[in-house]
Structure 1
Amino acid sequence: MTSLFNLAGVAAVACLAIAAPATAQNYVSNPSFENPAVAPGGSTVGNIPGWTGSLAGPVPFGIGYERAQLMTPNGNQWAYTNDGANAIAQQTVKTVVANEVYELTAEIGQRTDNPGFTPTLELWVGGTVTDGGVVGGTLVGAQSVTPISGQFVPVTVQWAAPAGGPLIGQRLGVRLANSSGAQANYDNVSLTATPGVAPVPTMTEWAMILFAAMLVGGGALYIQRRRQFV
């Protein structure tokens, strides 16, 4: 009976492990732009740790402390790009795995003292990320959003990796671009990965699993009893 109890204990632990929710890892570096810390009313110019940016104009991109014209949804700082032609980007450490599903999210805001603009969230695979662009990479997902003056709005891109092909093993990249207007603001960037969903066993399959477990337990009990009489 000891073997059967041990087997039941192992099965119970395995079921708990399957049922326990997992916290998704965010593969984006400096996702909420809180590094470096900026004094209230201040900003950086041409510098966002973990990110690269384009350099059009005298104040192309950077990190700004929240203002009355736009408060951040997370922390006290947001990233910005100016002049309607700049972008920020980064290549993450996450590589593409067959059949994984990737979700890229961000919040994009518009200051009340700035005109409307057309921002886009992009997910890339491979290539070289430099000056806010991706050279030689593959764009696998993009989504534009219409900002609301004085607010941040969420935007999401999803992409399911194929079972095979040249994209497998290449690194994922994130790009936030703006093609019009003056200043665009960004916060809460996140890239997560979810494995392909395993099929849930049917009632018949569960019956077979339990029957196999009983056979294993019964066999172990039989061997144990035989050893007692040897």
Structure 2
Amino acid sequence: MFNIHTTRRRGGRGIASPWRLFPVVLAGLFLAAGPAAAQTELVTNGSFEGNLDSFNDVPGWTGDPGPCGYTARIGGADFRPAATAGAQVLELATGSSTITCTVYQDIVIPAGATGDLTYAIGVNATAASASTLKFEIVPTVGPPVTVYSWVGTSPAETLAARTPVSIAPYAGQTIRLRVTHDHVSQYFNSFLDDVSVRVTVAAPPAPVPTLGEWAMILLGLLMAGGAALYLQRRRLAA
């Protein structure tokens, strides 16, 4: 029979039992579950820093070809609103011409990801018109989803954070974050800032050992314990 004691005394010295290793090994197996889930930012330069006042050249963002301009501006300067993140805001301006202006960024949503699209958007309009502003999620599969819209008959809106939108339905897809500034008449500017998609991807579950793997683990423990006892006894007998 096995004598399962934590220690045995012989000659005033303790002999460590191999069974004391068993809970340590089990704890190591259960702790090897892989890294914990962590948040990741998917939007590049969501606060529109860099290339100040450079026409159609904001790092991380792309504009459709055309005469419309989008530029990074210092927040709070002139008539522009204060930035909600960083020091700059994105401004889309068309003057008094009839122009459609679009700026966008494509991001890949990992499979199984959860999180929200957050953003600040606002409009500075001088008068009512038929102009419109839209912020959309354009998924790989399915129609565009409008998360913010403004029409020229509405009052101007301060640059401010809007309602967050879950991106979980788009997990495993590439989505386009697209702002369309459609100017028809009367002067108006639109502003965007603090665009963020922070996602969490759950860590994969730790693999559960099979019966055969458990048998190998137990056999290894028994062999290691027997070897430890044999060596300890030889040292005590010497």
Q: TM-score range by the shorter chain?
A: 0.5 to 0.7
TM-score of the aligned structures, taking structure 2 as reference length: 0.60
Contact 1:122–1:174 (Cα < 8 Å) also in 2: yes
RMSD across aligned positions (CA): 4.2
Q: Distance in 2 between matches of 1:143 and 1:192?
A: 17
Q: Distance in 1 between matches of 2:30 and 2:128?
A: 60
Residue 10 of structure 2 is matched in structure 1 by none
Structure 2 gaps of 5+ residues are 1-19, 232-238
Residue 73 of structure 2 is matched in structure 1 by 64
Q: Distance in 2 between matches of 1:3 and 1:88?
A: 60
Mapping 1:22-37, distance limit 5 Å: 22=38, 24-36=39-51
Instruction: Find the structure with the greater CA-based Rg.
Output: 2
SS at match of 1:175: strand
Q: For 1:48, which of 38, 58, 71 is the aligned residue?
A: 58
Contact 2:136–2:146 (Cα < 8 Å) also in 1: yes
Q: Distance in 2 between matches of 1:223 and 1:192?
A: 49
SS at match of 1:25: strand
Overall identity of the aligned pairs, in %:
19
Contact 1:102–1:160 (Cα < 8 Å) also in 2: no
Q: Distance in 2 between matches of 1:220 and 1:148?
A: 73
Shift of 1:48: 1.8
Contact 1:110–1:152 (Cα < 8 Å) also in 2: no
SS at match of 1:33: coil
Q: Distance in 2 between matches of 1:6 and 1:28?
A: 42
Shift of 1:89: 0.7
Shift of 1:25: 1.9
Summarize deviations over 1:96-135 as a string: whole Å, max 9, x none.
Answer: 5444345322211234868797533222344xxxxxxxxx
SS at match of 2:23: helix
Mapping 1:154-165, distance limit 5 Å: 154-157=162-165, 158-161=167-170
Shift of 1:189: 1.3
Residue 90 of structure 1 is matched in structure 2 by 105
Question: 1:53 corresponds to which letter in structure 2?
Answer: G
Shift of 1:175: 1.0
Contact 2:124–2:188 (Cα < 8 Å) also in 1: no
Q: Distance in 2 between matches of 1:221 and 1:54?
A: 66
Structure 1 gaps of 5+ residues are 127-136, 163-167, 200-207
Residue 117 of structure 2 is matched in structure 1 by 104
Shift of 1:143: 0.7
Question: 2:188 corresponds to which letter in structure 1?
Answer: A
TM-score of the aligned structures, taking structure 1 as reference length: 0.61
Contact 2:123–2:188 (Cα < 8 Å) also in 1: no
- Rate the CA distance shift 1:220–1:110 in 2: closer, same or farther, 3 A: same
